[in-house]
Structure 1
């Protein structure tokens, strides 16, 4: 029972003290002026740093526009003339057998340019060697094969076509070319022959040289002549 009284008495005393304190504060507030309320200061809001947008690392998906190819100006064509064809006889391409090739650059040997000699040989049998030597002051060409006849014969003898060389023989002054003169045909053939004294050698269609045949030269219907060769041994192979 005593305990309950203490609990009630304590709040009553506290309430009285509070009322006294409030009365004192009211008298003080009436005496002192009330200060004007302070104006609130506006503070600039602190800017928060913004992060720069990340730079894309991937290449744009749109393809770059294609540009037209740059035009290049072609170099002007040169007007240099082709090199002239050499006039030396390098081969007999286009040779018609009469001393002319496809470019007309040959200078056939004529009777006024050369000396022709017919001579005996030991091998092969029944052969003579014809030698043409340039006695002039300019080069000339021993073209084709000589057209050969005997004494008063009208038709030339046969030409051995397999003896045609790869190149026309050009003769500088003093140089010679050679042809093989086959006097008779194969043994046992029915031929007609005779002993001759002269040999007619046509260098071209309109230039002929007549030479003396070696003594006792006998020819028959099988006679033939080779093309002009640069080497003596080459001529006697036919």
Structure 2
């Protein structure tokens, strides 16, 4: 009798340990899912601003600050639409960084916008700028566009305009 009581006690303790181990495994398996996974940056989770710069000439600096609570990825380059333009401003392929720009809450990504050059043609004064964020595949945009306020009086934009890929610093963006 003592043997079976002792066996039952050991079996109960063993079962309790296994249950706690299983619960611990389930909890640790749930922990990665419970942590916030990065999302694609969108106008809903970033604040977009445009700043005129002295150098290089005919350039603007676009800044996207992550105002959300999750880390976000700024894929590719922004799709820009000046005024009622029908085509997005081309991306400068040479500016492609080695990795996707990752923004923790409060961090910013930067892109340079070249608005015109002596080689450009068919220019006009632009007063509005829509900024669309690229999807992961970089073949379209995601979410609603952000409206970026252009400098007072607008900017002259011609056929030579381009935008760089997102960069981690303003100086890296303005190299182009």
Match of 2:3 in 1: none
Q: CA deviation at 1:107?
A: 2.1
Q: CA deviation at 1:106?
A: 5.8
Q: CA deviation at 1:153?
A: 0.7
Match of 2:71 in 1: 139
Distance 1:202 1:190, change over 3 A: closer
Structure that is richer in strand per residue: 2
Please give the TM-score of this superposition, normalised by the length of structure 2.
Answer: 0.72
CA distance in structure 1 between the aligned counterparts of 2:164 and 2:57, rounded to whole angstroms: 15
Unaligned runs of 5+ in 2: 1-31, 135-140
CA distance in structure 2 between the aligned counterparts of 1:164 and 1:190, rounded to whole angstroms: 23
1:222 aligns with 2:160: yes
Task: Count residues in correspondence.
Answer: 134
> Does the residue aligned with 1:158 lie in a helix, a strand or coil?
coil
CA distance in structure 1 between the aligned counterparts of 2:120 and 2:60, rounded to whole angstroms: 22
Q: How does 1:150-165 map to 2 (within 5 A)?
A: 150-165=82-97
Q: Which of residues 169, 175, 181 is equivalent to 2:101? A: 169
Match of 1:194 in 2: 124
RMSD: 1.8
Unaligned runs of 5+ in 1: 1-85, 88-104
Q: Which of residues 137, 141, 148 is equivalent to 1:211? A: 148
Please give the TM-score of this superposition, normalised by the length of structure 1.
Answer: 0.54
Q: CA deviation at 1:118?
A: 0.7
CA distance in structure 2 between the aligned counterparts of 1:171 and 1:181, rounded to whole angstroms: 20
> Does the residue aligned with 1:153 lie in a helix, a strand or coil?
coil
Of the two structures, which has the highest relative contact order with CA contacts closer than 8 Å and spacing of 6 or more? 2
Q: Which of residues 158, 173, 176 is equivalent to 1:235? A: 173
Q: CA deviation at 1:108?
A: 1.1
Per-residue Cα deviation, 1:186-225 (whole angstroms, up to 9, x for no partner): x1x3601111111111113132111111124111111100
